[in-house]
Structure 1
Amino acid sequence: MRRLSGPTDHVVVVGAGLSGLSAALHLLGAGRRVTVVERGDSPGGRAGREEFAGYHLDTGPTVLTLPHLVDEAMAAVGERLEDHVELIPLDPAYRAAFADGSSLDVHTDPHAMEAEIRRFAGPRDAAGYVRLRAWLERIHRVQMRSFIEANFDSPLDLLTPDLARLAAMGGLSTWARQISRFVRDERLRRVFTFQSLYAGVPPTRALAAYAVIAYMDTVAGVHFPKGGMHAVPRAMAEAALQAGATFAYGSTVTTLERSPAGRAVAVRTAEGARIACDAVVLSCDLPVAHRLLGGGPRRLLPLKYAPSAVVLHIGGERSWPQLAHHNLSFGRSWQRTFRELTQTGDVMSDPSLLITTPTVTDPSLAPPGRHLHYVLAPCPNLATGPHDWRSIAPRYRDSLVSELQRRGLDGFGAEPEVERLVTPADWAAQRHAAGTPFSAAHTLGQTGPFRPRNLPRGWPNVVLAGCGTTPGVGVPTAVISGRLAAARITGLPVHTSTHRAGTRRTTTAPLAGSPA
C-alpha cells in the first residue's frame, strides 16, 4: 500500500461528515495533530439535522448498519460509541408491503426470518433463505477482507486468492441471478435486491458481490441511534475533540496552497483564514475536491452517477399502526422502475418507496403525541433526467401523497404541522454532482481500483475520503473510507483499529482570520 510521502505531523481534514470524522479519529489515534474544517455549523455532512417546531429531522441517511465500524474509529482514541449514543436494534429491520396486499417483516434473527418466510412464501423458499443467508455471510467475509477494506494502488491488487473465492461463489455474476438461485418468490427477490438502488445499478446488471449490502441490512441487522442518525457524527466529533482535534465550523475551504515541490502546505478559507499543514484529507464531494485539486482524474469515460431521490418529511398528529420504523412500499412494476431511474430519466410511474417513521422507536424526535415520517422516493439524477424540479416539485409531492393514501395511509399529508420536500435541485444546491446524494454509481468501471482513487495524481500529500472514492456509497463504507485515508497517511493496517491512544482535551478554536 502506497502512503503519503514527507512529513504528516499536522493534518487538515476538509469536511466533518462521517468519512472526515472517521479519518480524524484514526489520525488522532496514530498521534497526528488534526484540524477539521467544516463549512456547516455542526458536524455530520450528509448526516445532518434540522429542527422545526419541536421536530428533529435527519436530513441524510436513516438506516444504520455495521455500527461496530464507528466504534472502531472511536476506539482509536480510547472512546466507545455506546458511551455516547444508545443504539436500539430494530426488529423488524424493515416491513415490506407489496402491491398485492401482502406484507413481510424482515428479521435479523435467522429462525424468526425463516419462520416469516415460511408463512409468507412457503417451505421451499424458507429453506432457500437458510442457504441464502449462509451465502451472504460468505460474500461479506470475502468482500470486507480483500475488496471493501482495501486501498488499491493498481487493478493488479485485485488478483488475490479472494478474487477466485468470490468468483467461485458467483460474486462476479449478477445480483438478481444469484438471489434467484435461492428464492423463487418474486417479492422475496425484491427484498434481497432493492439495495442495488444504493449502488446506482439495476440488480440485473449489478455485480452479485454487491449483495454484501443485503447482508448488512438483513443479516447483520439495522440499528437506530436514540436521538436520530445525527447522534452518530455528533458522538464522533465529541470523541475527536476530546482527543485533541481542533474544529473550525462555518469555514469554507476555497484553496489549497501549494509549494514549488507540489505539496499542499496550507488551506485557505473564504473567511480569510490560512491554516498551515503537512497533509490534507479532502472528504468533501468529488466536484468540490476536484476543483480544489485543479481538476479531476483523466478517465476514458466520464463518471456515471447514481440515481437521486426526492425526500418528503412530514410531522403531525397522524400515524398508522401498520407502519414499523422502516417500511418498504413496493409498486407492481420493478424492471420498469429501474429503466426509468437509470435509462429513460422518467420519474417512477409506479413508485417503490422507503417510509421511515423514527418516532415509532424514539418519540422524543417529535413533540408529545406527534409523529415524524420520512418518505424517500428514488428518482433520476439531473444528468439522466434533467427535470425542472423547482416547477414540478409541488405536483410530484401531491402525486406521492395520493399514492401513499391509495396504499392504505389514509389522510397522509393532510394538514401537517411540519413539512419539507427535498428534490435533486436541492441536492445540486448542496454541491452534490448530478443532483444526487449517492455520488458515483457502482458500475463495473467505477468499482474497486476503477473508482476514483483516494490518492489524487500530482499531489504527494493529499488523500481523498467519502462516498465518491474507495470503497463507495453508504454509511459503513463512508466510515471505512476515512480509515483507508488515514492509513495512507500513517501506514497503519487498514483491517484493524484496536490500538489505543491517550486522549487530550481541548476546545474548538475559531480559525477565520487566524494567522498562519
Structure 2
Amino acid sequence: MPHPVVVVGAGLAGLATACRLAGAGYEVTVVERGHQPGGRTGRIERDGFSFDTGATVMTMVDLLEDTVAAAGSRLDDLLTLQRLDPAYLAQFADGSRIRVRNGAEAMRAEVAAVSGAREAERFDDFVEWLRELYEIEMAHFIDRNFDSPLDLLSRPVPAARLLALGGFGRLGPAVRRFFDDDRLRRLFSFQAMYAGLPPSSALALYAVITYMDSIAGVYAPAGGMHAVPTALAEAAARAGVTFRYGLEVDQIQGRGGKVAAVRLVDGEVLRADAVVLTPDLPVAYRAFFPELTPPRGVRRGVYSPSAVVWHVGVRGEAPAGRAHHNIHFGSQWDEAFDALIKRHELMPDPSRLVTVPSATDPSLAPEGCSTLYVLEPVPNNRSGIDWDEEAGPMRERLLGFLDAEGYPTDVVCEELYTPRTWEHLGMEQGTPFALAHTFAQTGPFRPPNVERRRPGVFFAGSGTVPGVGVPMVLVSGKLAAERVADWLDGDR
C-alpha cells in the first residue's frame, strides 16, 4: 500500500507538492478550506469581471512545466500561455517611458533607443552577470534542501563564484555599477521589493528576480493567473490526488512519536504517514503546535512590507500605449523606501503597479470594459495604521492617480485589499510577501521546511525555503516533496 500523505492548502505550494508526491506514487489528499484551488492566487467573479486576487506576474514557466510533468501531464494540455511583449511598461516621473522587451536583443535595442549606445553595451554585461548569478543560485542554493548553514560548505566552488560575482554585496550599488541612467537603475532593482527590502540594502543575489522578470520573460495565462492553480489541480487530480474542499484541519495527530492522522473540524480523521502544511508558518504553529516553541525566524522574523491592491472593474478601455503590466515610478526613491521600510509609514511619493489583464484576455471583462489591478506598497501591520480609517482616503488617491494617468475611472465594481484583509486571510503581520529576505532569513537561515520535533511534519510556501514569489513557491513544493520522500522511504 502506498503511504498516505495529507497536504493542507491548495495554493501553489500545496499543489506543487501534491503533483510531485502523486507522481512519485504516494496516496495524496489535499485539504483546502476554500471551495476551489488557488490559495493566495485566488479569484473574484463579479458583474462579469474576473479579478485575480494574488500574484499577477508569471515567470520561469519551465518550473511550472517541470511540476506538471512530475505528475505525468503536459502543461500545453492544461494551460495556454502568452509571452508578453513588453513584459512591463515603465513610466517615470519626468514622463519618459521604457518598455521591458521580450528577449535580451530586443531589450538591448530599447536601452539603446532610450538611454544611448553606451548604456546598451553595459546592458550586455549586465545580462551576463544576471545569467551567471541565476545559474549558480538556482542549481546550488535555491533548488536544494539544507539541513544546516554548514551545508553551504559542501559546495565551496559555487559559493566562491557567487562571492566573486558580488552576490553578497548590495543590489542597488551592484546595479549602479552597470548603468549611469538612473531610470535603468530603478528598472532593474525595484524587484528587491518582492524580497521585502529596499534595493540599497537587499543582497545582490536577489538580482535573480530581475533575471526572471526582465530576461527570462513574463507570461499571461489565458483566463488570468487563477488558471495556473486550476491547471496544477487538474494535473494533480489526473495523477490520483484527492481534493477535499470547504474543510479545515483541526489537529495533527500522532502515534509513537510520529504523524498518524489529520483530524478535520467536523471530526473526520484522515490517515497520514506525513503531513505538509502550507499556511504561513506562524499561523501553522499557533493552530497545530501551540505546545512547541517555533524556530526563531518564526517568532522574531522581520516581515516584508505589505500592499494595498485595488481590484476595479471599469467601463472603458486602457489608453493606447499602455501594456499588460505598467509600473509608474514616483520621483522619490530612497526617501520613499525609508518611509515604507524604516519608518513604517505610507510612501510620500509612491511607485505603483497597474495591471490590465483584460487588455490581453478580453474575456476577463464585459465588452467595452476593463479589469484593473492597482498595487501600492504599504507598511505591514507593525505600522499601526488603522485601515478602517485609511482605506477610504487610499481608494480616493488611487482613483485620482488612475484618472491623472488616463486610465478609465467609471467604476462598475471594486474590491480593496489592505493589510487588514491579508491578515484576515491568514497572512502574518498583514503581508502577502511573508518574511523579508534579509541575510538572516535567506537560504539555510530561513525557517526550515521540516519540524523534526514532530516527525512526519513538513512545510511549503513563501515563509519557508526558498522564499517568496510564484517560482520560489513552486520550488518550495518540490523541496517539501523531497523531504517527505526521504522520510517515508528511507530516513525514518
Q: TM above 0.5, one fold?
A: yes
Conservation of the 8 A alpha-carbon contact between 1:297 and 1:457:
no
Give CA deviations for 1:80-119 in whole Å, capped at 9, x if unaligned. Answer: 1111110000000000000001000001322211111111
Alignment of 1:94-109 (within 5 A): 94-109=88-103
Give CA deviations for 1:275-317 in whole Å, capped at 9, x if unaligned. Answer: 1111101112212221213345342871110000000111122
Q: CA deviation at 1:491?
A: 3.5
Q: Determine the C-alpha separation between the residues in 2 that align with 1:263 and 1:399.
A: 53
Structure 1 position 221 matched with structure 2 position 220: no
- Secondary structure of the corresponding residue to residue 250 of structure 2: strand
Structure 1 position 297 matched with structure 2 position 294: yes
Match of 2:110 in 1: 116
Structure 1 position 155 matched with structure 2 position 149: yes
Alignment of 1:237-316 (within 5 A): 237-259=233-255, 261-291=256-286, 292-294=288-290, 295-299=292-296, 302-316=300-314
Letter in structure 2 aligned against 1:454: N
Q: Determine the C-alpha separation between the residues in 2 that align with 1:329 and 1:158.
A: 39
Q: Determine the C-alpha separation between the residues in 1 that align with 2:107 and 2:64.
A: 27
Give CA deviations for 1:398-435 in whole Å, capped at 9, x if unaligned. Answer: 112223333x226x43x311111110010011111000
Structure 1 position 400 matched with structure 2 position 404: no
Question: Which of 424, 435, 449 lines up with 1:454 in the alignment?
Answer: 449
Structure 1 position 87 matched with structure 2 position 81: yes
Conservation of the 8 A alpha-carbon contact between 1:252 and 1:270:
yes
Q: CA deviation at 1:8?
A: 7.6
- Secondary structure of the corresponding residue to residue 395 of structure 2: helix
Structure 2: 5+ residue stretches without partners: 488-492
Give CA deviations for 1:229-264 in whole Å, capped at 9, x if unaligned. Answer: 0101101111111111111000111211122x3212
Alignment of 1:354-373 (within 5 A): 354-373=353-372
Q: Determine the C-alpha separation between the residues in 2 that align with 1:76 and 1:443.
A: 32
Q: Determine the C-alpha separation between the residues in 2 that align with 1:296 and 1:188.
A: 45
Match of 2:490 in 1: none
Letter in structure 2 aligned against 1:340: A
Q: CA deviation at 1:184?
A: 1.1
Give CA deviations for 1:417-468 in whole Å, capped at 9, x if unaligned. Answer: 1111110010011111000001111001100111000011301111100000
Match of 2:202 in 1: 206
Alpha-carbon RMSD: 1.4
Match of 1:431 in 2: 426
Q: Determine the C-alpha separation between the residues in 1 that align with 2:7 and 2:389.
A: 38
Higher relative contact order (Cα pairs below 8 Å, separated by 6+ residues): 1
- Secondary structure of the corresponding residue to residue 440 of structure 1: coil
- Secondary structure of the corresponding residue to residue 120 of structure 1: helix
Letter in structure 1 aligned against 2:225: M
Q: Determine the C-alpha separation between the residues in 1 that align with 2:179 and 2:65.
A: 34
Match of 1:335 in 2: 334
Q: Determine the C-alpha separation between the residues in 1 that align with 2:348 and 2:258.
A: 51
Q: Determine the C-alpha separation between the residues in 2 that align with 1:40 and 1:317.
A: 30
| Identity across the alignment (%) | 48
Conservation of the 8 A alpha-carbon contact between 1:287 and 1:431:
no
Letter in structure 2 aligned against 1:120: V
Q: Determine the C-alpha separation between the residues in 2 that align with 1:354 and 1:163.
A: 35
Distance 1:489 1:270, change over 3 A: same
Alignment of 1:127-146 (within 5 A): 127-146=121-140
- Secondary structure of the corresponding residue to residue 95 of structure 1: strand
Conservation of the 8 A alpha-carbon contact between 1:8 and 1:279:
no
Q: Determine the C-alpha separation between the residues in 2 that align with 1:81 and 1:21.
A: 14
Conservation of the 8 A alpha-carbon contact between 2:196 and 2:303:
yes
Alignment of 1:6-17 (within 5 A): 9-17=3-11
Structure 1 position 352 matched with structure 2 position 351: yes
Give CA deviations for 1:26-82 in whole Å, capped at 9, x if unaligned. Answer: 101111000000000000100011100111110000000011111111111210111
Regions of 4+ moved over 4 Å: none
Match of 2:461 in 1: 466
Q: CA deviation at 1:348?
A: 1.1
Give CA deviations for 1:204-228 in whole Å, capped at 9, x if unaligned. Answer: 1111000000000001000010000
Q: Determine the C-alpha separation between the residues in 2 that align with 1:273 and 1:38.
A: 14
Conservation of the 8 A alpha-carbon contact between 1:340 and 1:348:
yes
- Secondary structure of the corresponding residue to residue 349 of structure 2: coil
More helix by share: 2
Conservation of the 8 A alpha-carbon contact between 1:315 and 1:371:
yes
- Secondary structure of the corresponding residue to residue 428 of structure 1: helix
Structure 1 position 66 matched with structure 2 position 60: yes
Match of 1:501 in 2: none
Structure 1: 5+ residue stretches without partners: 1-6, 493-516
Conservation of the 8 A alpha-carbon contact between 1:266 and 1:277:
yes
Q: Determine the C-alpha separation between the residues in 1 that align with 2:44 and 2:311.
A: 11
Conservation of the 8 A alpha-carbon contact between 2:279 and 2:426:
no
Letter in structure 1 aligned against 2:378: C
Q: CA deviation at 1:370?
A: 1.2
- Secondary structure of the corresponding residue to residue 195 of structure 1: helix
Q: Determine the C-alpha separation between the residues in 1 that align with 2:455 and 2:33.
A: 25
Letter in structure 2 aligned against 1:171: G
Question: Which of 390, 406, 410 lines up with 1:409 in the alignment?
Answer: 406
